[in-house]
Chains A and B, each alone.
Chain A
Amino acid sequence: MYRILVINPGSTSTKAAYYRDSDPVWTELLSYPSERLAAFPAILSQFDMRRNDLLKLLDEKQVKVSGLDVIVARGGAFKPLQGGVYRVSVACLDDVRNGRVQADHISNIGVMLADALAGEHSIPAYFVDPVSVDELADMARLTGLPEIRRISLVHALNIRAVGRKAAALLGSAMDDLDLVIAHLGGGISVCAMKQGRMLDVTNANEEAPFSPERAGTLPSGQLVRMCFSGKFAQADIKRKLTREGGLLAHLGTSDLRAVEQRIGAGDAQARTVFEAMAFQIGKTMASMAAMLCRLPDAAVLTGGGAKCELLVSAIRKHIDFMGPVLVFPGENEMEALALGALRVLRGEEREREYPA
Chain B
Amino acid sequence: MSRKAGPFHILVINPGSTSTKIALYRDLEPVFDKAIRHSTQDLSPFERIADQLEFRFALIQECLDRNPDFRGEIHAVVGRGGLLSPIEGGVYEVTDAMLLDLREARYGQHASNLGGILAHRLAQQLKVKAYIVDPVVVDEMEPVARISGIPEIRRISIFHALNQKSVARQAAEELGKPYAELNLIVVHLGGGISVGVHKRGRVVDVNNALNGEGPFSPERSGGLPAGQLVDLCFSGRFTHSQMLRKLTGAGGMVAYLGTQDMLEVKGRISSGDAFAAQIYDAMVYQIAKEIGSGSTVLEGDVDAIVLTGGLAQDERLIGDLKRRVQWITRILVYPGEKEMMALARGCLSVLMGQEPPRKYEDYRKE
Please determine whether chains A and B interact with each other in the same assembly. Answer: yes
Tell me the bound Cα distance from A238 to B234 in angstroms. 11
A295 in contact (CB, < 8 A):
yes
B234 touches A227 (CB 8 A): yes
| B54-62, B159-167, B284-292, B344-352 - the one binding chain A | B284-292
Q: Decide yes or no whether A226 CB sits under 8 A from chain B.
A: yes
A265 at the interface (CB under 8 A from B): no
Q: Which of B216, B225, B279, B289 is packed against the most chain A CB atoms within 10 Å?
A: B225
Q: Does B278 contact A (CB under 8 A)?
A: yes
B299 close to A146 (CB less than 8 A) = no
CA distance A146 to B323 in the complex (A): 26
Task: Determine if B1 is an interface residue (Cβ-Cβ < 8 Å).
Answer: no
* Most A CB within 10 A of own CB, among B145, B147, B226: B226
- Known contacts: A144-B224, A321-B300. The answer to whether A220 contacts B293 by CB under 8 A is no
Checking B228, B243, B278 against A224 with a beta-carbon cut-off of 8 angstroms, the contacting residue is: B243
Cβ distance A139 to chain B, nearest Cβ, rounded Å = 4
Verify A293–B289 contact, CB threshold 8 A: no
Main secondary structure of the interface of A (DSSP, over half): helix
If A287-B293, A290-B324 touch, whether A242 touches B227 (CB-CB below 8 Å) is yes
Q: How far is the CA of A279 from the CA of B222 in the complex (A)?
A: 20
Expressed in whole angstroms, the Cα–Cα distance for A221 and B212 within the complex equals 5
Which residues in chain A, 67-120, are within 8 Å of chain B measured between CB atoms? none
Does B147 lie within 8 Å of A276, measured CB to CB? yes
- CB atoms of A290 and B149 under 8 A apart: no
Q: In the assembled complex, which residues on chain B have CB atoms less than 8 Å from the CB atom of A282?
A: 296
Bits for B205-244, please: 1 = Cβ < 8 Å to A, else 0.
Answer: 0001011110111001111111111111110000010011
Q: Which residues of A contact B99 (CB under 8 A)?
A: none
Taking CB atoms, residues of chain A closer than 8 Å to B279 are: 142
Residues of A within 8 A of B251 (CB): 144-145
Q: How long is the Cα–Cα vector from A217 to B208 in the complex, in angstroms?
A: 13
- A293–B150 touching, CB < 8 Å: no
Interfacial chain B residues near A209, Cβ < 8 Å? 149
Interface size on A, residues (CB 8 A): 69
Q: Choose one: A139, A217, A220, A224; the contact of B240 (CB below 8 Å).
A: A224
- Number of CB contacts from chain A to chain B under 8 A: 228
Is B153's beta carbon under 8 Å from chain A? yes
A325-348 CB mask vs B (1 if < 8 Å, else 0) is: 000000000000000000000000
Tell me whether A223 is interfacial, beta carbon within 8 Å. yes
Partner of A241, one of B155, B226, B243, B278: B226
Is A291 interfacial (CB-CB < 8 Å)?
yes
The distance from the CB of A241 to the nearest CB of chain B, in whole angstroms, is 5
Q: How far is the CA of A9 from the CA of B296 in the complex (A)?
A: 38
Residue of A nearest to B250 (CB): A145
Q: A143-B224, A148-B224, A227-B233 are known contacts. Are A220 and B296 too (CB-CB below 8 A)?
A: no
Q: Which residues of A contact B216 (CB under 8 A)?
A: 142-144
Chain A, residues 221-261, CB within 8 Å of chain B (1/0): the string is 11111111000001001101110011001100000000000
Number of interface residues of B (CB under 8 A): 70
For B239, the closest partner residue in chain A by CB is A228
| Given A138-B281, A287-B290, A147:B149 Cβ within 8 A | no
With A and B bound together, what is the CA distance between A219 and B155 in angstroms? 7
What chain A residues lie within 8 Å of B211 (beta carbons)?
219-222
Task: Tell me whether A289 and B224 are in contact (CB under 8 A).
Answer: no
Give CA–CA (A290, B256) in the complex, Å.
23
Contact between A218 and B150, CB atoms less than 8 A apart: yes
Please tell me if the beta carbons of B296 and A319 are within 8 angstroms of each other in the complex: yes
Q: Are A293 and B327 touching (Cβ within 8 A)?
A: yes
Min CB distance, B121 to chain A, in Å? Answer: 33
Name the distance in Å between A304's Cβ and chain B's nearest Cβ. Answer: 18
Q: Is B144 positioned at the interface, with any CB of A under 8 Å from its CB?
A: yes
Question: Does any Cβ of B come within 8 Å of A134's Cβ?
Answer: no
| Chain A residues closer than 8 Å to B252, beta-carbon distance | 144
Q: Which residue in B146, B299, B323 is a CB contact (below 8 Å) of A318?
A: B299
CA distance A272 to B324 in the complex (A): 31
Binds B, one of A14-22, A25-33, A48-56, A199-207: A199-207
Contact B151 A250 (CB under 8 A): yes
The answer to whether A203 touches B243, judged by C-beta atoms less than 8 angstroms apart, is: no
* A321 CB contacts on chain B under 8 angstroms: 295-296, 299-301
- The residues of A that contact B333 with a CB separation of less than 8 Å are none
A132 interface residue per 8 A CB criterion: no
Which of B149, B278, B288 has most chain A Cβ within 10 Å?
B149
- CB of A250 within 8 A of CB of B147, answer yes
Judging by beta carbons under 8 Å apart, are B234 and A221 in contact? no
Known: A206-B228, A272-B147. A288 touches B327 (CB 8 A): no
B152 proximity list for chain A (CB < 8 A): 226, 240
Min CB gap A282→B, angstroms: 4
Tell me the smallest distance from the CB of A281 to a CB of chain B, in Å.
9
* A143 near B151: Cβ-Cβ < 8 Å: no
Q: Tell me, yes or no, whether B68 is within 8 Å of chain A by CB.
A: no
Cα A205 to Cα B294 with chains together (Å): 23
CB pair A145–B144 under 8 Å, yes or no, is no
B285 contacts A139, C-beta separation under 8 Å: yes
Q: Which of A148-165 contact B (CB under 8 A)?
A: 148, 150-151
Instruction: Identify B232's interface contact among A147, A218, A250, A291, CB under 8 A.
Output: A147
> B311 to nearest A CB, angstroms?
15
CB distance from B288 to the nearest CB of A (A): 4
CB <8 Å contact, A151 and B233: no
- For residue B110, CB closer than 8 A to chain A, the reply is no
The contact string, 1 if C-beta is below 8 Å from chain A, for chain B 164-193, is 000000000000000000000000000000
Query: How far is B153's CA from A240's CA once the two chains are assembled, in angstroms?
Result: 12
The chain B residue sitting closest to A141, CB to CB, is B282
Is the beta-carbon distance between A249 and B325 smaller than 8 angstroms?
no
Query: Is the Cβ of A148 less than 8 Å from the Cβ of B225?
Result: yes
B299 touching A290, Cβ below 8 Å = no
User: Does B340 interact with chain A (Cβ within 8 Å)?
Assistant: no
* Cross-chain pairs A/B with CB under 8 angstroms, 9 sampled: A140-B285, A144-B224, A217-B226, A220-B211, A220-B213, A234-B231, A276-B145, A286-B296, A321-B295
11 more A-B residue pairs beyond the given contacts A143-B224, A216-B148, A221-B210, with a C-beta to C-beta distance below 8 A: A138-B278, A142-B216, A143-B222, A145-B221, A148-B232, A151-B228, A203-B225, A221-B212, A241-B226, A272-B147, A279-B144
Q: Which residues of A contact B (CB under 8 A)?
A: 138-148, 150-151, 203, 205-207, 209-211, 214-228, 234, 237-238, 240-242, 245-246, 249-250, 272-273, 275-276, 279, 282-291, 293-295, 317-322
**In the A-B complex, the 9 residue pairs with the closest CB atoms:** A220-B212, A321-B300, A144-B216, A210-B149, A215-B149, A144-B221, A221-B211, A227-B233, A206-B227
